[in-house]
Amino acid sequence: MGLLLISSCADPPQYSLTPSIEFDNVIFKDVADPAVDSLIVSVKFKDGDGDLGIDATETSDPFNDKFYYIFPNGTFITYKTKRTDSHYDTLPAFVKPYNCTNWEVRTVNSKIDTFYYKANPHAHNIKVQYFVKNFDGSFTEFKWTEQFGYPFCATSFDGRFPILSKNLSQKIPLEGTIRYGMVSSGFLALFSIKTLKLKITIEDRALNQSNTVESPEFTLQSIKRGG
């Protein structure tokens, strides 16, 4: 998460209750320790009632991370269910990419089991998609969660920015700039000479999704800044 620059006006303007964003900037910080290399993207935003941001401690519906599936008796649907109950044999197999996007290996009561889940799209309020340019000029999305497979599952760079309003109950219009940092040791290894672009979307607390903005094409070297 990056720094946030926020402004509000004494004479509030009339903005839509659905947030709107504009692309501002993207930079790559290459530092001595590659584990903390970072891409930092900035977007300008406007929102009519200022209900932007999710606190890190908010883990209940509608901001929970995942939905697990259970039987009426409260037991979880597991991979054993898929193998032994014909009603569930259409669930995805434990193969790439599903072994990182729909199945979670957990130890419960000293026993390892594999639980079926679906990710909650509202757990994050800023969503960043990566695209890599092909030889023919088209772009293919690089999906972090599907790229590597179990046990090397990666998370996406979707994330949260904190609550921006001093008092959410006041419903005050807000505008400003969100500066969002993404840290990875893999940026140079994966994208050293490749051409990339990003697509960014934000979401408010009422689950209204903004427009999606797109960065210009770039290489890491072309947007590189010192650490």
Rg for the chain, CA atoms, rounded: 20
Alpha-carbon gap, residue 121 to 199, rounded angstroms? 16
Nearest C-alpha neighbor of 45 from the set 133, 140, 136, 176: 176
Domain match, 50 and 102 both: no
Q: What is the pLDDT of residue 3?
A: 40
Q: What is the pLDDT of residue 14?
A: 87
pLDDT tens for the 227 residues of the chain, in order: 444 444 455 566 789 999 999 999 999 998 877 678 899 999 999 999 999 999 999 999 999 999 999 999 999 999 999 999 999 999 999 999 999 999 999 988 888 999 999 999 999 999 999 999 999 999 999 999 999 999 999 999 999 999 998 888 888 999 999 999 999 989 999 999 999 999 999 999 999 999 999 999 999 999 998 76
Domain match, 100 and 149 both: no
Give the domain-ending residue among 80, 96, 118: 118
**What's CA 67's distance to the chain center, in Å?**
16
Domain match, 78 and 39 both: no
Domain match, 10 and 52 both: yes
Domain match, 54 and 165 both: yes
Domain match, 106 and 85 both: yes
DSSP state of 190: H
Q: What is the pLDDT of residue 37?
A: 87
Separation of first and last alpha carbons in the chain: 16
Q: What is the pLDDT of residue 123?
A: 98
CB atoms within 10 A of CB 83: 12
pTM of this prediction? 0.90
Does 72 sit behind a cis peptide bond, omega within 30 degrees of 0 on the bond before it?
A: no
Domain match, 49 and 136 both: yes
Domain match, 85 and 55 both: no
Domain match, 72 and 105 both: yes
Give the domain-ending residue among 79, 99, 118: 118
For the four alpha carbons of 95, 187, 214 and 14, in that order, the dihedral sign comes to positive
Domain match, 40 and 56 both: yes
Pairing of the two strands 103-108 and 213-214: unpaired
Domain match, 51 and 143 both: yes
Q: What is the pLDDT of residue 44?
A: 97
Domain match, 90 and 171 both: no
Q: What is the pLDDT of residue 109?
A: 85
Number of domains in the chain: 2
CB atoms within 10 A of CB 171: 13
Per the structure, the complete domain to which residue 172 belongs is given by 4-60+122-226
